[in-house]
Chain A
Amino acid sequence: MNYVVIGNSAAAVGCVEGIRKVDATGAITLISDESHRAYSRPLISYWLSGKVDDERMYYRNEDFYEKNHVKTLLGVRVTALDAAAKTVTLSDGTVLPYDSLMVATGSRPFVPPIAGVQDCPQAVTFLDWDSARRLKGMVNKKSRVVVLGAGLIGLKVTEGLAGHVAGITVVEMAAHLMPSVLDDDSAAMLQRHIEKNGVSFIYEDPAAKVSGNLLTLGSGRELAFDVLVLAAGVRPNVELVRDAGGTVNRGIIVNSFMQTSLPDVYAAGDCVEAMDVVSGARKIMALLPNAYMQGEAAGKTMAGAPEGFEKSMPMNAIGFFGMPLCTAGDYDGEAYVKIEEDSFKKLFFKDDRLVGYILISDVDRAGIYTALIREKVDLKGVDLELLRQRPQLMLFSNKADRKRIVAGGSITQ
Chain B
Amino acid sequence: MKKVFAIEEFCLACHLCEYNCAFSHSGMKDMVKAYKSGFQPARIQVEESGEINFALNCRHCSDPVCMKACITGSISRGEDGVIRVDTNKCVGCWTCVMTCPYGAVVRGRGDRKVALKCDLCTESGNTPACVEGCPNRALVFEERGDD
Contact = CB atoms under 8 A, between A and B. Distances in A.
A40 B71 contact: yes
Given A42-B71, A392-B47, A406-B8, A317 B93 contact: yes
A364 B89 contact: no
Contacts of B48: 394
Given A289-B95, A292-B68, A317-B94, A367 B73 contact: no
Given A315-B98, A370-B101, A392-B103, A289 B144 contact: no
Contacts of B54: 406
B99 A364 contact: no
Interface of A: 14, 40, 42-43, 46, 51-52, 56, 58-60, 288-289, 292-293, 296, 315-319, 324, 326, 328, 363-368, 370-371, 386, 391-394, 402-403, 405-408, 410-411
A290 to B, nearest CB: 9
A393 B91 contact: no
B5 interface: yes
A394 B21 CA distance: 22
Contacts of B5: 407
A319 B56 contact: no
B6 A406 contact: yes
Given A42-B93, A407-B5, A366 B98 contact: yes
Interface in B31-77: 47-49, 52, 54, 56, 59, 61, 65-66, 68-69, 71-73
A370 B98 contact: yes
A394 B47 contact: yes
Contacts of B101: 367-368, 370-371, 410-411
Contacts of A411: 101
B3 interface: yes
B100 interface: yes
A318 B98 CA distance: 10
Nearest to B60: A408
Contact of A363 (B65, B69, B94, B144): B94
A247 B103 CA distance: 39
